[in-house]
């Protein structure tokens, strides 16, 4: 029996490293290996390259290079933002977030509850949208920060971040946005959106794993207590020798994302719609989340009566997901889909398909054919 070609439709979990990114990184593993904190010429050359990567990353989100702190990824960025703020603002002990946030936010907020903070977890509508009137009601003068992701990692739903940031600022609260799934898929301008802090990870948009960034608005004059103590690198906010090759990779991935966003969005949207239209012909199937306000590459579809874990294994060469990659190893229903009002059975029968730059129309047709046959077999 011939081996089936791999079809990768789990790009919200991680993306393949772009060869152009790898090419940019390679010299910094070998010839250009000096420590960017060193004062000699070799070190200064590396520091200049790091500063250029900061500029590339900043340009991607409409920021300034001095507003970028490099981290190990969005999870660390989120932890630095929330915990760092808390230590600098003892009089504000209230946090507002949303039930559909990534576990990096939810688990950090639960930690904050254990150390004396009050956290409000907002519900969402049945299509995953936040009621801004409800948000406005729960923000008080005691609210330290409002935390909302730009696009949901499981459904792709896009929130009205500008409106919510405005509501937070009206009551003197800061606004943190997890933009991990939005980067490279929609245009982002932190100044226009009035975002104070923003987290991102390189591996979600064809960069290397293990590197990300935290944007910290200069205008907001934010003070953060660092999570790590040591050599006081990165304006004393994140100590430790910089992971230079990964940072160069993040910068290059950011540069490519800016240049290719429009064309990628147009092509991938067409493929996503092709996939969705084909799969919705399956009796009883339906899309989870709002289908108007969402990113181009994601569709989350419920196939009632189909066990998603068995389904994923049976697909063999086609890689898809039944939820966040951080929690898909469990048999628990997705907290995101539960928040949308799905039953446990419906949530456990839902599959996330997330397309990428390399996805082809032929792969979509094969996926439709395989999924249709497999649902009939398993349901």
Together in a domain, 166 and 285: no
pLDDT tens-digit series, residues 179-205: 999 999 999 999 999 999 999 999 999
Catalytic-residue membership of 326 = yes
Which tokens is 92 given?
């504000």
Task: State yes or no: pLDDT of 328 exceeds 50.
Answer: no
pLDDT averaged over the chain? 95
pLDDT tens-digit series, residues 36-78: 999 999 999 999 999 999 999 999 999 999 999 999 999 999 9
Which tokens is 204 given?
């979600």
From the candidates 109, 296, 302, 326, give the one annotated as an active-site residue.
Answer: 326
- The Cα–Cα gap between 155 and 288 comes to 7
Last residue of a domain, one of 238, 256, 274: 256
pTM of the model: 0.95
- For residue 212, what pLDDT is reported? 98
Question: In 3-state terms, what secondary structure has residue 372?
Answer: helix
Last residue of a domain, one of 202, 232, 256: 256
E strand map for the chain:
7-8, 68-71, 94-98, 118-122, 143-147, 174-178, 197-201, 212-216, 286-287, 298-302, 318-319, 350-354
Task: State yes or no: pLDDT of 245 exceeds 60.
Answer: yes
Contact between 337 and 350 (Cβ < 8 Å) = yes
Show the CA angle centred on residue 10, arms to residues 9 and 14, nearest 5°: 135
Q: Return the closest-CA partner of residue 294 out of 182, 143, 141.
A: 182
- For residue 327, what pLDDT is reported? 47
Together in a domain, 150 and 55: yes
Count the neighbouring beta carbons within 10 Å of the beta carbon of residue 32: 15
Residue with tokens 């789990």, as numbered in its chain: 10
- The Cα–Cα gap between 233 and 229 comes to 10
Together in a domain, 311 and 247: no
Together in a domain, 12 and 36: no
Together in a domain, 251 and 342: no
pLDDT tens-digit series, residues 85-96: 988 888 899 999
Domains of the chain: total: 2
pLDDT tens-digit series, residues 104-145: 999 999 999 999 999 999 999 999 999 999 999 999 999 999
Together in a domain, 198 and 295: no
Together in a domain, 93 and 45: yes
Residue with tokens 């903070």, as numbered in its chain: 117
Q: Please report whether residue 248 resides in a domain.
A: yes
Count the neighbouring beta carbons within 10 Å of the beta carbon of residue 2: 4
Question: In 3-state terms, what secondary structure has residue 3?
Answer: coil
Domain CATH for 282: 3.90.1150.10
Q: What residue numbers bound the domain in which 325 lies?
A: 7-16+261-378
Q: Please report whether residue 2 resides in a domain.
A: no
Bin 180: left if φ > 0, else alpha if -120 < ψ < 50, else beta.
Answer: alpha
End-to-end CA distance of the chain: 26
Together in a domain, 215 and 182: yes
Contact between 147 and 311 (Cβ < 8 Å) = no
Q: Is 241 exposed, middle or buried (0-12, 13-18, 19+ CB in 10 A)?
A: exposed
Q: Return the closest-CA partner of residue 202 out of 365, 80, 77.
A: 77
Together in a domain, 178 and 59: yes
Q: Please report whether residue 64 resides in a domain.
A: yes
Together in a domain, 278 and 251: no
Together in a domain, 163 and 143: yes
Question: In 3-state terms, what secondary structure has residue 341?
Answer: coil
* Segment 260-270 mean pLDDT: 97
- The Cα–Cα gap between 357 and 21 comes to 14
Phi, psi of 148 (to 5 degrees): -140, 135
Last residue of a domain, one of 204, 224, 256: 256
Contact between 147 and 95 (Cβ < 8 Å) = yes
Together in a domain, 145 and 288: no
- The Cα–Cα gap between 324 and 330 comes to 10
pLDDT tens-digit series, residues 199-209: 999 999 999 99
Q: Please report whether residue 349 resides in a domain.
A: yes
What angle in degrees, to the nearest 10, is found between the helix axes of 74-88 and 103-114?
30
Distances (CA, A) of 40 to 30, 36, 45, 47: 18, 9, 9, 11
Alpha-carbon Rg for the chain in angstroms = 21
* Segment 271-277 mean pLDDT: 98
Q: Please report whether residue 1 resides in a domain.
A: no
Domain CATH for 40: 3.40.640.10
């Amino acid at each position: 029996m011939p081996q089936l070609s791999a079809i990768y439709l789990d790009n919200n979990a991680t993306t393949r490293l772009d060869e152009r990114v790898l090419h940019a990184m390679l010299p910094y593993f070998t010839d250009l290996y000096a420590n960017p904190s060193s004062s000699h010429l070799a070190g200064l050359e590396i520091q200049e390259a790091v500063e250029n990567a900061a500029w590339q990353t900043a340009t991607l989100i409409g920021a300034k290079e001095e507003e970028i702190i490099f981290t190990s990824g969005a999870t660390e960025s989120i932890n630095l933002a929330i915990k760092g703020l808390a230590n600098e603002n003892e009089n504000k002990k209230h946090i507002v977030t949303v039930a559909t946030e990534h576990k990096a936010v939810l688990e950090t907020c639960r930690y904050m509850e254990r150390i004396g903070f009050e956290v409000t977890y907002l519900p969402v509508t049945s299509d995953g949208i936040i009621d801004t009137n409800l948000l406005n009601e729960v923000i008080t003068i005691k609210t330290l920060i409002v935390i909302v992701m730009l696009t949901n990692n499981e459904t792709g739903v896009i929130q009205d971040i500008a409106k919510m940031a405005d509501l937070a600022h009206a009551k003197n609260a800061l606004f943190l946005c997890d933009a991990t799934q939005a980067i490279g898929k929609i245009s982002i301008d932190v100044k226009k959106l009035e975002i104070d802090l923003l987290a991102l990870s390189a591996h979600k948009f064809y960069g290397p794993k293990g590197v990300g960034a935290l944007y910290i608005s200069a205008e907001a004059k934010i003070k953060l207590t660092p999570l790590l103590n040591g050599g006081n690198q990165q304006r004393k906010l994140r100590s430790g020798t910089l992971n230079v090759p990964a940072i160069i990779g993040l910068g290059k991935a950011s540069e490519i994302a800016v240049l290719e966003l429009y064309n990628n969005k147009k092509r991938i949207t067409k493929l996503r719609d092709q996939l969705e239209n084909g799969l919705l012909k399956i009796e009883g199937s339906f899309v989870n989340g709002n289908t108007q306000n969402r990113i181009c590459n994601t569709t989350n579809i419920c196939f009632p009566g189909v066990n998603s874990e068995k389904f994923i294994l049976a697909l063999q060469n086609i890689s898809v997901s039944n939820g966040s990659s951080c929690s898909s190893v469990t048999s628990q229903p997705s907290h995101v889909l539960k928040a949308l009002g799905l039953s446990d059975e419906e949530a456990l029968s839902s599959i996330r398909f997330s397309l990428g730059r390399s996805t082809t129309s032929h792969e979509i047709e094969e996926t439709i054919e395989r999924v249709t046959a497999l649902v009939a077999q398993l349901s």
